[in-house]
């Protein structure tokens, strides 16, 4: 069964809305990543789904870092995972590959599972798949430096082609699957990790998801805006069961 991460980004506005959405999509193969301010409340309300933070700071467990949240704080809420290096964090939050690496190491040190996001921009993709592969491998090489093989077993790689985020465009299922296969091979060759989870973070819709569901290398989906609409999100989840 494929699993789904609902990345709410900076949505919704109120706690009441957050509770309503979470309760509607509270299923066992779902992970909900709400804004930090809702994590504590949802940790008490969500019964089946797991929770993830959308980001983390690289120092633990506390310190003089105004506005930041540590992995220790996240863990104290009963949250099990964190998303690191999302394309929007790289674009708006100043996350370089070095920062992604430091954040990943901090999260793993607190026994959190990590979803590391990688993906090429449009200017790279236009040069072809080989160019995109080199770009993604370079990201992974920097993002995961110094992390032990044991800890890598708690890392999931989310492939999110930047040119497909919030644009309405999406990679073809076979293209996404091909990139994930290349990621798996790279992880095995460089780090000796034979089994690494790979999920797709490009835009998927109710019309396109069936094609992605058929690809074995795609083990799940990182879903943005559609996860805020319980009806649409449930349709994505149930697509695997429909003929």
Residues classed as catalytic: 86, 160
**Measured over all CA atoms, what is the biggest interatomic distance in the chain, rounded to whole angstroms?**
54
The answer to whether residues 103 and 142 touch, using CB atoms and an 8 Å cutoff, is no
Instruction: State the Cα–Cα distance between residues 161 and 93, nearest whole angstrom.
Output: 18
Q: Which residue has the tokens 């465009």?
A: 169
d(CA 169, CA 63): 41
Looking up tokens 């819709």 gives: 205
Measured between alpha carbons, how far is 241 from 243 in angstroms, rounded to an integer? Answer: 7
Both structure tokens of 67? 């506005």
Q: Which two tokens stand for residue 194?
A: 């034979």
Instruction: Quickly count: other Cβ atoms within 10 Å of residue 17's Cβ.
Output: 13
CB-CB neighbours of 190 under 10 Å? 12
């Amino acid at each position: 069964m494929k699993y789904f991460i609902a990345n709410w980004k900076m949505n919704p506005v109120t706690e009441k809305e957050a509770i309503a959405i979470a309760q509607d999509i509270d299923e066992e193969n779902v992970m909900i990543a709400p804004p930090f301010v809702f994590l504590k409340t949802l940790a008490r309300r969500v019964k089946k789904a797991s929770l993830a933070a959308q980001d983390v700071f690289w120092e633990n467990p506390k310190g003089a870092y105004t506005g930041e949240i540590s992995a220790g704080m996240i863990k104290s809420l009963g949250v099990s995972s964190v998303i690191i290096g999302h394309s929007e964090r790289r674009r708006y939050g100043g996350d370089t590959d070095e920062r992604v690496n430091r954040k990943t190491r901090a999260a793993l040190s607190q026994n959190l599972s990590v979803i590391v996001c990688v993906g090429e921009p449009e200017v790279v993709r236009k040069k072809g798949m080989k160019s995109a592969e080199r770009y993604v491998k370079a990201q992974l090489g920097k993002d995961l430096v110094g992390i032990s093989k044991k800890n890598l077993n708690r890392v999931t790689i989310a492939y999110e082609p930047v040119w497909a985020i919030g644009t309405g465009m999406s990679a073809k299922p076979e293209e996404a699957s091909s990139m994930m296969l290349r990621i798996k091979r790279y992880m095995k060759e460089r780090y000796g990790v034979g089994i690494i989870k790979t999920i797709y973070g490009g835009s998927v819709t109710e019309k396109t998801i069936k094609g992605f569901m058929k690809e074995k290398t795609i083990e799940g989906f990182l879903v943005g805006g559609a996860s805020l609409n319980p009806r649409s999100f449930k349709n994505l989840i149930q697509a695997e069961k429909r003929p």
